[in-house]
Structure 1
Amino acid sequence: MKVHLTPPESNHILANIKVTGSKSESNRILLLQALYSNIKIENVSNSDDAQVMAKGLAMVDGVVDIHHAGTAMRFLTAYFATQEGKDVVLTGSQRMTERPIKVLVAALKELGAEISYVKNEGYPPIKITGKKITKNKVSLPANISSQYISALLLTAPSLENGIALELIGKITSVPYIKMTLALLTQLGIENSFEGNSIKVSPKKAVENQTLIVESDWSSASYFYSIAALSEIGSKIGLSSYKHDSLQGDSVLAEVYKEFGVDTVFINNKIELHKVKEPQIKTLEWDLANAPDIAQTIAVTCFGLQMSCHLTGLHTLKIKETDRLEALDVELSKLGASISVTDKTLTLNAATSINADVAIATYNDHRMAMAFAPLALKTTIYINDAEVVSKSFPDFWTDMATLGIGVHEQ
């Protein structure tokens, strides 16, 4: 499906949107629920990724196909490896078979897991035979995707001796690690994070309780972008969000203040107020702790005809697509002057924005959603627009609610 996006009748945007639960929190809590069946979940994400995760956790043997869901691949690798009696082949899309899994597999094998590669060394598909794990000491490079680390930490309470994890080098995804540990704490599972050492104690049972998933801050980023590109006086309400969020992407409130957008917390929602035009010419930001919002920020800067220099983006090379190269190609189509390295993006202020450009999405939900807010500035096409269902199935409906013309073709 291709969509043609046209500007709203007015860029003075006033709307309220309900955003589905965080994909990151949902996937973590779903895994914990598989370990402790008396946990209940509210506001779970309606994304494809969360549905794939839930389906995978219900499997006992056979082929588990997680499609494009990278989080599910990492989390389910650790889950199946530590569950006696489960025997699966874990696979996914063509792109998933190109995304490395070797670091996590090596760590699990160091603990005593039985995992082998079906085709290419270091990549899915992988064959996993669940075993009782008694070893508990393991190390990982600290600069890898936090999902590898969280995969081990989430399964740790079910292990006979828990886990003592040593991270080697500079840690780059602390908020996601802290999210995982905070959820364990909510369940009464003892853990500690001191320096580069993380310990999780074993726990056979937890008390009956309901965990409420906060709405997704990554999904909120697109509304922040729309607020930034809108007229002064615009206001967008989003629910349900917490001031003390576990999600690293909540740094959006700080970043978008630079674009003239204030965030107001009211009860269980936030209001985005466009209060002024940007006061800076170049945004410089290290996104090592929140790489998933890089695409949105880069497109916002382009739409505001600002420059930016974004760093800490090394994990974007192995996402659903190489997001840095994809941004380079698609923003250039729109008239941007942009350069990328393997971990940075530099954008020069645009003098104009090309109209009726068709944006390729590369099987990447965030490419589709990050470029959509440019509809406030120009007419634009989004190819393969259905890819948004990976994390935000209601996205195009919500865009129409804001007054943006969404025309399927």
Structure 2
Amino acid sequence: MKEEYSIKTRENFCTEISIPGSKSMTTRALILASLSENPVILKNPLFSEDIVQMIECLTKLGNKILVSDDKKYIKISGNKKREFGKKTLHVGNSGSVMKFLISYIATGKGEITIDASSRVTSRPIREFVDSMRELGLEIEYLKKSGFLPIKIYSQGTKSNIIKVPGKNSSQYLSSVLLSASHFNSDIEVLTSHKISSKSYIDITLKMLHDFGAKIEKTENGYLVKKTNFDTVKGYLIEGDMASASYFLAAALITNSTIKINNFSYNSIQGDYKFLEIMEELGLKIIERTKTSITVQGVESYEGFSLDLNRTPDLVPTLSIVALFANSPSEIHNVANLRTKGNDRLNSIRTELKKIYGSVTDLPDGIKIIPKKAGTYKGGVMETYNDHRLAMSFSLIGLKVSGISLANSHCVSKVFPNFFEEFENIYK
């Protein structure tokens, strides 16, 4: 049964919302803390489906993980021996958890089966598996060659060099870098393609530096020294900048004032760039502190042309912003989104045309030609079980009457209380 969420139009409002901790930083911090010599307390973590899956899997692998009653911190005492034994892990709908765990498993010994939901088992993983086999892992496909489920036989790494693909996903490289300090020797990580979504590699490298990793940039990749993590005892997770983007966009397109709490000043997340883009379109910053920002939208704004290769998660939100601009917009260098689960570019085009939007494909992106107010019509927007599409499409309903979202519960993947915060718009 499809769970629908109906949206009421609303403009020129004033409200206050709070965003959760960063998913990208929380997943990375869980791996880094599990590899640390001393217990680590993660402050302001995200709690979502992906994070719950990661915690369950790391716990099965011998790490002791304590979640505070108020869910404001997580304490991790890592399994220092990393003798995993024979285990079966289920990563649910999370491709990132699956990828990060494969490299983590390479730091120890065990026979580990990894399975997932049909959404994740339908995604090819052969190129990453081939890379991990170069390290000495024995990996067996249990059903269809090139896809989950897989069984990993790890006795630790046996090579000091690995070539990691990066054309379609930066998560392969992040996965290897996060665990490489705890492989059996120093390791040279070669990148075989231009890395997409590079802003996420920047997050990985910054957090590795914070935890004490020793990494050198080389001509063809990175040299990672074998190092213990023994300096960090507490680590603060920033607010999620992608989650903030929906409310920054809401303020812009409805000429409204929104205060966003848990908004990190000078964030290390690439999606922080969304604020700069909104400012260029006319969004005004009314007040700013270390942990919050208050913004004011505008009555109208022009279209844009952007290269979003470094920050592809912003494409759905900016597509909605483009719908209500005064002139056409183009989004470039995001062809890799056609390989993301449901093909986000096709999903965006399909759903915006459903409400009479004008969207055309570009070789590496999309073009959106806005129409006059009143031209768009309401309807049920399919979310394709994609949290970012669901949250982005919710913005349409603030401007177009009769919009509702199918399968709205999919937002629980990264922002479980999104619609509770969204309802503040109507108070």
- Give the TM-score normalised by structure 2: 0.88
State the alpha-carbon separation in 1 of the partners of residues 173 and 312 from structure 2: 16
Give the percent of matched residue pairs that are identical in Structure 1 and Structure 2.
Answer: 29
Which residue is 1:373 aligned to? 395
Identify the residue that residue 273 of structure 1 maps to in structure 2.
296
Structure-to-structure mapping, 1:199-218, within 5 angstroms: 199-218=223-242
> Which of 16-25 and 33-42 deviates more?
33-42
Decide which of 371, 374, 383 is 2:406's aligned counterpart: 383
Deviation at 1:17, TM superposition (A): 1.6
Q: Distance in 2 between matches of 1:360 and 1:309?
A: 23
Moved more, 388-397 or 316-325: 316-325
Shift of 1:195: 4.2
8 Å CA contact 1:163–1:199 kept in 2: the answer is yes
Whether contact under 8 Å (1:74, 1:101) holds in the other structure is no
**Displacement of 1:350:** 2.0
Q: Which residue of 2 aligns with 1:258?
A: 280
The alpha carbon displacement at 1:192 in A equals 2.0
Corresponding residue SS for 1:271: strand
Is the 8 Å Cα contact of residues 38 and 207 (structure 1) preserved in structure 2? no
CA distance in 1, matches of 2:205, 2:327: 38
Q: Judge conservation of contact 1:361–1:367 (CA < 8 Å) in 2.
A: yes
Q: Structure 1: how far apart are the matches of 2:326 and 2:115?
A: 42
Say which is worse superposed, 351-360 or 104-113, in terms of deviation.
351-360
1:224 to 219, 226, 248: 248
Report what 1:97 is aligned to.
Answer: 121
Which amino acid is the alignment partner of residue 240 of structure 1?
N
- 8 A Cα contact 2:106 2:183, kept in partner: no
1:112 aligns to 2:136 (yes or no):
yes
Residue type at the aligned position of 1:186: D
1:297 aligns with 2:321: no
> Hey, what does 2:4 align to over in structure 1?
2
Shift of 1:30: 0.5
Aligned pair in 2 of structure 1 residues 97, 341: CA closer, same or farther (>3 Å)? farther
Alpha carbon RMSD of aligned pairs, Å? 1.8
Equivalent of 2:195 in 162, 166, 171 = 171
Deviation at 1:153, TM superposition (A): 0.3
**Do the aligned residues in 2 keep the contact of 1:353 with 1:378 (CA within 8 Å)?**
no
Normalised by the length of structure 1, the TM-score is 0.92
Task: State the alpha-carbon separation in 2 of the partners of residues 248 and 344 from structure 1.
Answer: 19
Give yes or no for contact 2:16–2:258 (8 Å, CA) kept in 1: yes
CA–CA separation in structure 2 for the residues paired with 1:180 and 1:38: 20
Residue 193 of structure 1: how far off its partner (Å): 2.4
Amino acid at match of 2:140: S
Alignment partner, residue 352 of structure 2: 331
Q: How does 1:9-408 map to 2 (within 5 A)?
A: 11-36=11-36, 38-60=39-61, 61-85=86-110, 87-231=111-255, 234-263=256-285, 265-275=288-298, 277-278=300-301, 280=302, 282-304=303-325, 306-341=327-362, 343-351=364-372, 352-379=374-401, 380-403=403-426
If asked which structure has higher relative contact order (CA below 8 Å, sep 6+), I would say 1
Whether the 8 Å CA contact 1:241–1:268 is kept in 2: the answer is yes
Cα distance change of structure 1 residues 194 and 227 upon mapping to structure 2, 3 Å threshold? farther
Q: Report the count of equivalent residues.
A: 397
**Partner SS, residue 345 of structure 1:** strand
Contact 2:96 2:171 in 1 (8 A): yes
Q: Give distance in 2, aligned partners of 1:337 and 1:129.
A: 51
Equivalence for 1:407: none
